[in-house]
Amino acid sequence: MKVATYRQGGSPSACLVDTGRGEILDLGRAGTRFGSVLQLIQAGAEGLAEARDAAKRWPSVAVRPLRGTQLLAPLPVPESIRDCLVYERHLHNAMKAWEKLANRPVTEIPKVWFERPTWYKGNRFSVVGHEAEVQWPPYSEMMDFELELACVIGRKGRDIPAAKGLEHIFGFTIFNDFSARDTQMVERPLGMGPMKGKDFDTGNVFGPWIVTTDEIGDPQKLDMQVRVNGEHWGGGNSSEMQHGFAQILAFISIAETLHPGEIIASGTVGTGCGLELTRFLKPNDVVELEVEKIGTLRNRIVRPQPAA
């Protein structure tokens, strides 16, 4: 199933998406108990069964066209965001780019990177969805995107064995981690995470929906591509991850409980950002991230005029 959140009047509502029909099904109007995607995720297997029953019935009273419907982020305020960095090709390319931009040598990839996943925690309140305008922060002159695959936790767990890691995932979505690269370059020597290089309103984009794990199959075999204004810039495949999602969940959950509704992203696939090409966005550019079996996440980046 494709599970999404759309704006109905002034309120977000949970829905299912059928791209073949070109329709969405409002889960509340279809007679389920779910007003939000988080409620559906928290209901576990019973919730999925109830949503699948509604999908089979597809009652006309709860249907509206997909075209013209405003989709929000599937989880408008996720329980948490962790963003990993597990693609060696991306890390190597990015380090070479930083070396060029900063005009100083960059160290080799540390050995520990190959031994364990690494991540930072993002701002869960700065999330927007498909077709939302992304606001260019006023302190940056060098804006970038990042093509990422993200999993959504569906089952609570701690000390999760890697062999059971995928059982704790509700589904997968696309993540565009917009980044102020010049600001990030200033902050990198501080060693405490991206900070204002990543933390600004509208900077975390998820969508257009969550595809449940049964429709994804093996999440380590998905083709990923990025286009800017229709031009192909780069991409790769999730098979290139140094640490797969099962291993990431196993490591993160050591002595730490994961909860339904948390999002964990893979980090950028190789050539999945402008930094690797030393090629950056311009105001009004449209970025499209496409991931196999999920779809396309599209956003325009806009730069407000400075106040008079």
**pTM of the shown model:** 0.96
Which SS3 state, helix, strand or coil, does residue 218 take?
A: coil
pLDDT in tens, 1-28: 999 999 988 899 999 999 999 999 999 9
Residues 31 and 164 reside in one and the same domain:
no
pLDDT in tens, 181-209: 999 989 888 888 889 999 999 999 999 99
Domain boundary among 19, 45, 72: 72
Domain interval for residue 60: 2-72
Q: What is the mean pLDDT of residues 290-301?
A: 98
Residues 272 and 155 reside in one and the same domain:
yes
Residues 68 and 167 reside in one and the same domain:
no
Instruction: Quote the CA–CA distance of 4 and 6 in Å, as a whole number.
Output: 7
Residues 64 and 34 reside in one and the same domain:
yes
Domain count, the chain: 2
Instruction: Quote the CA–CA distance of 173 and 267 in Å, as a whole number.
Output: 13
Contact 182, 148 (CB under 8 A): no
pLDDT in tens, 95-135: 999 888 888 777 789 999 999 999 999 999 999 999 999 99
| Residue 100: predicted pLDDT | 86
The residues that bridge with 2 in the sheet, in sequence order, are 17, 211
| Residue 307: predicted pLDDT | 58
- Count Cβ atoms below 10 Å from residue 90 Cβ, excluding itself: 26
Q: What is the mean pLDDT of residues 271-281?
A: 96
| Residue 9: predicted pLDDT | 82
Residues 203 and 141 reside in one and the same domain:
yes
Instruction: Quote the CA–CA distance of 127 and 183 in Å, as a whole number.
Output: 20
Place of tokens 């090409």: 277
**Type of residue found at 135:** Q
